[in-house]
Amino acid sequence: MTTLLVRVSGDEELDAETRKLRRALLELDVEDVRLPEVVAPDGAKGAGTDIGAMVVSLGGSAVLTALVTGVCQVLRTWVTRDKDRRVVIEVGDHKLELTGGNAEQQASAIEAFTKTLELEAD
């Protein structure tokens, strides 16, 4: 199973925006999108969640590149809505960072990222 770790930042309404982004990602053909648990401080009741991160499970799909590209496009749309937003996508040792840059730069970065993942999968 391939998983993407997605970290988002730069929005005053990070909790609400992260949850909206999660719902948008779940509309893709992904297996699951969850907010990772974090270790709660001593004395706290229960575990917390990292509202600035999501784990996207893609499953063992044969169309992995298409799914990664789809996830990246959803994240790219989200990040361009506010100049202070930032998204970091991690797959194993590979990272892709999207910021408020122009659409052409982001498209090139996404293409290079997915090609790297394709080569590694072969």
How far, in Å, CA of 105 to CA of 27, rounded? Answer: 25
Region 36-56 average pLDDT: 68
What would the two tokens of residue 35 be? 């907010």
Residue 5 has a CB neighbour count (10 Å cut-off) of 15
pTM of the model: 0.77
| Residue matched to tokens 């309404």 | 13
What pLDDT was estimated at residue 112? 93
What pLDDT was estimated at residue 81? 82
For residue range 52-79, what is the model confidence (pLDDT) as tens digits?
888 888 876 556 778 888 898 898 888 8
Residue 121 has a CB neighbour count (10 Å cut-off) of 9
Is residue 98 predicted with pLDDT exceeding 80? yes
Q: Could you tell me how far CA 42 lies from the centroid of its own chain? A: 29
